[in-house]
Amino acid sequence: MSYKAISAEEAVKVIKTGDRVHLSSVAVTPHKLIKAMVERGRNKEFYDVKIQHIHIEDKVDFADPEFEGVFVSEQFFVGGNLRKQTQAGYADYIPVFLSETQKLIREGVLKVNVAMIMCSVPDKHGFVSLGTSVDATRAAVECADIVIAAVNPNVPRAWGDAIFHMSEIDYFVEDNSPLYTHDMGELTDMDIAIGKNVAELIEDGACLQMGIGGIPNAVLAQLGNHKDLGVHTEMFADGILPLVEAGVVNGKRKQIDPGKMVASFLMGSQKLYDFIDDNPMVAMMDVRHTNSVNVIRQNDKVTAINSALAIDITGQVCADSIGTTHYSGVGGQIDFIRGAGYSKGGLPIIAMPSVTAKGLSKIAPTLLQGSGVVTTRANMHWFVTEHGAVNLYGKTMQERAKLIISVAHPDHQEMLDKAAFDRFGSHFRYVNPNI
């Protein structure tokens, strides 16, 4: 179905001082619209324009020092492209569970004036797709006063909540730019060791949640002999594709959305984007569905695999900052840790290397001052490093300290053991966490 397109420069003229602008995210970050908006800001045509987004990719300028007072960055998650600006205070972060990002928009806590999105070309019935990222953008499309769409033939026609009618769009801009892609990279020995320890916990028929990076890919690489795995996750990447092609991932045993791979956003190669194009096996859904604890828990054997920056000997997990230095965000970690915890046969897992690249222990007596606790010790179940896997659920403070230290790097175990002895007293020497 046809539409009338205008230039990006003309479309962004609707933005005015004080507006909040929502951006679609990850691979479908609407850079053509962003650049036109930034140029208006550079010309001081407006002030105090709030830029709202989850995780956007590639270089953007609106959080640079020159735009102080012109743009105000409101991120739901901090990516590498805006990390330095956030740490310097030129960009900011809203702590929120990923499941509730859409709630902030739908309930008007964060009123969206303009939604700038990227979508597929309308089909013969006039429907477009948000493609690789639905997340909270579906809510922004529903609630914004004005919707500007960069219509891009490279955006796959994904099913699920990604689909909506072009009548919801106010202004169309043509964009033929390729989607942002992400290379899986080579697995390290550390990734493989952690992946093997996690994979040993996963049963046939499990429903997987995983992110992107070496550890999730290493886990997936170990699952070739499993049967009837399902996917209900906030995101997946290329590592899942061989399991789909082999029939290992088929979703047969899922209680919710059986037979479908459910996600809210994707990031990976062009092969991944081609895979979801017009594929009824994949349902790209709003985060109020993918990340709802009440939805997640309805699948059996939900296996949630998340990572962290640090953990203390009582099981407090820091995943969004290094001390007071902000690094990423809460994301969907707690949504899935809690959902998996309520799932019949579920496995909530935090998996991470025991040491940093410089050999420093990521397991600490106490978290650095100012660290954000994302997963509390009350939420913890399985903790996995390259040295093993331990279950902290139902364990006392002293028992879990023993277990966590047992999977720390051997070079740091004596230091951690002494810290636990100093904290808990002489009885700590007699604690047997395996009883």
- Could you tell me if residue 331 is left (phi over 0), alpha (psi between -120 and 50 degrees) or otherwise beta? left
Count other C-beta atoms under 10 Å from residue 430's C-beta.
7
Active-site annotation holder among 57, 100, 234, 386: 234
φ/ψ region of 214 (left if φ > 0, alpha if ψ in -120 to 50, else beta) reads: alpha
378 phi-psi bin (left φ>0, alpha ψ -120 to 50, beta other): alpha
The token duo for 234 is 């906030």
Q: How large is the greatest C-alpha to C-alpha distance in the chain, in angstroms?
A: 76
Is there a contact between 94 and 109 (Cβ–Cβ < 8 Å)?
no
In angstroms and rounded to an integer, the radius of gyration of the C-alpha atoms of the chain is: 22
The amino acid at 320: D
To which residue do tokens 């309308």 refer?
A: 122
Strand 159-160 with 207-209, pairing: unpaired
H/E element, 282: strand 282-284
* 234 classed as catalytic: yes
393, 423, 392, 427: which is closest to 406 by C-alpha?
Answer: 392
C-alpha of 163 from chain center? 21
Among 149, 180, 206, 397, smallest CA distance to 273 is for 180
- The angle that helices 410-424 and 397-406 make with each other, rounded to 10 degrees, is 170
Rounded Cα distance, 108 and 136, in Å: 13
**Which residue matches tokens 């952690």?**
194
Q: Which residues contact 178 (CB under 8 A, 6 or more apart)?
A: 154, 270
Residues catalogued as catalytic: 234
